Structure 1
């Protein structure tokens, strides 16, 4: 039993505090050094209040937008790590599914190793599928067919891992050995069949000579009228 495996990547970086966007402030007469004209304090106060309300409205809109795109308040680094983990999870699952589908009856169940993401969820970063690479005892032809399936399963993913290539090489070696055994067996069978044909031919030839000799002696016996001679000679070829 062997396994197809994928290589897990290493993700670095630890969660940091969430950054808070800073909204820009409006320009007021006090900030610019300007003084409100006398007798117009109500107008200035009203203008300042309106500016403050505008800032609050802008901050509220930005907060709602950030919350929709990043509900957990992750940093940029954490968001990048999360994106990488999700991509790796999809890749690993597709990789092992390709092995299992191509391996058919010789492939086992998929298993995965996981890594917790900054969002608290578990993501597959490695996996494997067991595969039966043993030859079929006493049947080289069945071994050849099995190893073809195993090799195809090993190379099924778009990017086979080093372990996948090792399994494919092992299957090829077993297949070549089975082909040699099959060729040797066929050679022995052909030799035995040829020997049998020769023996049959020799047997037929001996039978033909015996029949010819027997017939000749009968003729001689009939000509001489000595049946004892005929019987005596015939017994030599019984």
Structure 2
């Protein structure tokens, strides 16, 4: 779920084209001391801030979708990878949610867990490649649990038949024929 950082090339403090050469060499400084100030940023830097804000929103929604669907299988909250923007603010550019993907104690429990894992992996509007991989692994885990459950049910059914016929009757059967 981690995504490469947004290109830092846009974060340069290159002045606008119509700035005199003497001022062009001096780095641009914010007008205030607050990190969120964007009053003196170049158009390229403002564009990068907008991209970072958009990416931050997208990443947080993506990870929250995983958390909301994972339920009790989420090991912890979402963790994020950050990039500092030219305005001094850190923006989330990647993230992950750790989910317990271990099988359950029974095939039935494993099937339920696999379904939850698959739903959590595919919960975001646009699942990543890693999300799709986790969903495929959960689907495989569910298929294996279903095969194990079918095998158990077959053994149970066979055992019941053998128990019914495998023991000798306590009394010899009697056949009464009337004419």
Q: Could you tell me the TM-score, scaled by structure 2's length?
A: 0.80
Unaligned 5+ segments in structure 1 are 23-69, 213-238
Match of 1:207 in 2: 172
Q: Find the structure with the greater CA-based Rg.
A: 1
Match of 2:163 in 1: 196
Tell me the CA shift for residue 167 of structure 1: 0.5
- The CA RMSD over aligned residues, in Å, is 2.3
> Structure 1 segments of 4 or more deviating over 3 A?
17-22
Contact residue 2 and residue 81 of structure 2 kept, 8 A: no
- Within a 5 Å distance, the mapping from 1:71-82 to structure 2 comes to 71-82=38-49
Match of 2:112 in 1: 145
Match of 2:81 in 1: 113
Match of 2:100 in 1: 132
Cα displacement string for residues 57-92 of structure 1 (whole angstroms, at most 9, x for unaligned residues): xxxxxxxxxxxxx85211111111010000000000
Contact residue 151 and residue 172 of structure 1 kept, 8 A: yes
Match of 1:8 in 2: 4
Match of 1:83 in 2: 50
Q: CA–CA distance in 2 between the matches of 1:118 and 1:71?
A: 9
149 and 73 in structure 1: CA distance in 2 versus 1, 3 angstrom threshold:
same
Contact residue 114 and residue 138 of structure 2 kept, 8 A: yes
Tell me the CA shift for residue 21 of structure 1: 7.3
Cα displacement string for residues 10-64 of structure 1 (whole angstroms, at most 9, x for unaligned residues): 3232432544979xxxxxxxxxxxxxxxxxxxxxxxxxxxxxxxxxxxxxxxxxx
71 and 177 in structure 1: CA distance in 2 versus 1, 3 angstrom threshold:
closer
Contact residue 95 and residue 157 of structure 1 kept, 8 A: yes
Contact residue 16 and residue 75 of structure 1 kept, 8 A: yes
Q: Which has the higher helix share?
A: 1
71 and 6 in structure 1: CA distance in 2 versus 1, 3 angstrom threshold:
closer
Aligned length: 157
140 and 71 in structure 1: CA distance in 2 versus 1, 3 angstrom threshold:
closer
Contact residue 82 and residue 94 of structure 2 kept, 8 A: yes
